[in-house]
């Protein structure tokens, strides 16, 4: 079954939810070292902007990751979130992400009645879906909304993906995310994958989300392609801040959405106050040739991040190295 576009360019779909991942995906750029001011202002900016969910970071295991080596948003202790949001009397919901195998979720994810967090997002690979479901059911039993992000699907064959999606769809999860981890997809491919996700989603009454990367300057294009196909949970970050080439720009996304609740001025003011400084201080992310190359080769951005960190500009040599190591 092939799906036609949902909604139009002049109306809005009330099912759309915008998820700000600036501190979570952006935390991968600066080791989660955000200033107090940055976090407080981002919280206020997101409320003013009409963002539906703000993700504060990861619930990473302190057994696996040394808290001395990371900013606190890699762990998102309840007290740290509450220091910013109090009881979060806003209409905006709070989200955290937990990676399969890198979290002590039974201990670290509190019962919802003791937490200001609303949404627990589980990140999994195709081969850890049973472990992801265990986490999702734990979070659901504790009282949370849940989503699951299947990462690196550009490396998964469609039969396996369909099997994984069926498994997840039979769990209690609320939203299944289409994730373009490596920035490898073109809008045409997003369209086809959305078809697959949405067919299963409709069958099991799950919403579909999209999380894109900007390796080929397609994060925004792919996000609105998925949106137009019927995806309703849309991830974005302020100025696209995120690992490597970064994500869909919140500024672009809010400019596209027609729901009058969204207010891009709030985000622009935040950019003016914080993101320009961050960039000036030398925090580096965003489209660049090395990320284009890992994107088209459908591979992890880590080698491109290293290339840039090393101050290299011999792109052709890097491309040959990548082909030696990935094809």
**Which residues in this chain contact its own copies in the complex, by CB under 8 A?**
5, 9, 186-189, 214, 216-221, 224-225, 228, 249, 251-252, 255-256, 265, 268-269, 271-272, 276, 289, 292, 296, 313-316, 319
Tokens, residue 157 = 């064959």
**Residue number with CB closer to its own copies (44 or 189):** 189
**Residue number with CB closer to its own copies (189 or 199):** 189
**Residue with token string 């690196």:** 152
**Residue number with CB closer to its own copies (112 or 192):** 192
CB of 326 to its own copies, least distance (A): 15
Distance of alpha carbon 298 from alpha carbon 75, whole angstroms? 29
**Residue number with CB closer to its own copies (52 or 225):** 225
CB of 110 to its own copies, least distance (A): 38
Cβ-based burial of 14 (10 A; exposed 0-12, middle 13-18, buried ≥19): exposed
Q: How do beta strands 119-124 and 93-99 pair? A: parallel
**Residue number with CB closer to its own copies (183 or 209):** 183
CB of 299 to its own copies, least distance (A): 14
**Residue number with CB closer to its own copies (205 or 316):** 316
CB of 285 to its own copies, least distance (A): 14
CB of 252 to its own copies, least distance (A): 6
End-to-end CA distance of the chain: 33
CA 125 to chain centre: 14
Which among 160, 164, 180 has a CA at the least distance from the CA of 132?
Answer: 164
The helix or strand, by DSSP H or E, that contains position 96, with its residue range, turns out to be strand 93-99
The answer to whether the beta carbons of residues 15 and 46 sit under 8 Å apart is no
7: three-class secondary structure by DSSP: coil
CB of 6 to its own copies, least distance (A): 11
C-alpha distances in Å from residue 46, one per residue of 43, 51, 82: 5, 5, 16
Tokens, residue 143 = 């009282």
Distance of alpha carbon 58 from alpha carbon 121, whole angstroms? 9
Which among 110, 30, 63, 275 has a CA at the least distance from the CA of 96?
Answer: 110
Tokens, residue 139 = 């979070």
CB of 314 to its own copies, least distance (A): 7
**Residue number with CB closer to its own copies (36 or 188):** 188
Distance of alpha carbon 248 from alpha carbon 59, whole angstroms? 23
CB of 180 to its own copies, least distance (A): 13
CB of 55 to its own copies, least distance (A): 22
User: What is the DSSP code string of 108-172?
Assistant: HS--GGG-S--EEEEEE-GGGHHHHHHHHHHHHHHT-EEEEEETTGGGS-HHHHHHHHHHHHTSS
**Residue number with CB closer to its own copies (45 or 76):** 45
**Residue number with CB closer to its own copies (136 or 238):** 238
């Amino acid at each position: 079954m092939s799906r036609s576009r949902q909604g139009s360019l002049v109306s809005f779909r009330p099912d759309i939810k915008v998820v700000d991942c600036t501190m979570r995906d952006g935390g991968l750029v600066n080791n989660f070292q955000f200033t107090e001011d940055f976090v407080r202002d981002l919280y206020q900016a997101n409320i003013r902007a009409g963002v539906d969910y703000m993700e504060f970071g990861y619930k990473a295991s302190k057994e696996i990751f040394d808290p001395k080596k990371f900013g606190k948003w890699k762990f998102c202790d309840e007290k740290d979130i509450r220091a910013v949001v109090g009881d979060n009397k806003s209409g905006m919901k709070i989200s955290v992400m937990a990676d399969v195998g890198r979290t002590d979720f039974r201990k670290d994810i509190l019962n919802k009645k003791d937490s200001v967090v609303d949404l627990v997002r589980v990140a999994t690979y195709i081969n850890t879906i049973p472990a992801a479901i265990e986490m999702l059911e734990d979070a659901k039993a504790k009282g949370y909304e849940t989503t699951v992000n299947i990462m690196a699907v550009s490396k998964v064959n469609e039969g396996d993906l369909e099997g994984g999606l069926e498994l997840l769809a039979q769990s209690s999860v609320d939203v299944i995310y289409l994730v373009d981890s490596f920035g490898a997809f073109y809008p045409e491919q997003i369209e086809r994958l959305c078809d697959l996700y949405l067919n299963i989603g409709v069958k099991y009454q799950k919403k579909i989300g999209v999380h894109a990367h900007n390796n080929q300057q397609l994060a925004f294009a792919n996000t609105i392609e998925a949106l137009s196909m019927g995806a309703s949970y849309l991830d974005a970050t302020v100025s696209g801040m995120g690992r490597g080439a970064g994500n869909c720009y919140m500024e672009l996304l809010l400019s596209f959405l027609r729901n009058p609740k969204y207010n891009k001025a709030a985000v622009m003011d935040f950019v003016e106050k914080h993101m320009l400084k961050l960039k000036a201080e030398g925090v580096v992310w965003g489209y660049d040739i090395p990320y284009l190359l890992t994107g088209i080769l459908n591979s992890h951005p880590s080698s491109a991040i290293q290339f840039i960190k090393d101050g290299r500009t011999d792109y052709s040599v890097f491309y040959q190295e990548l082909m030696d190591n990935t094809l």
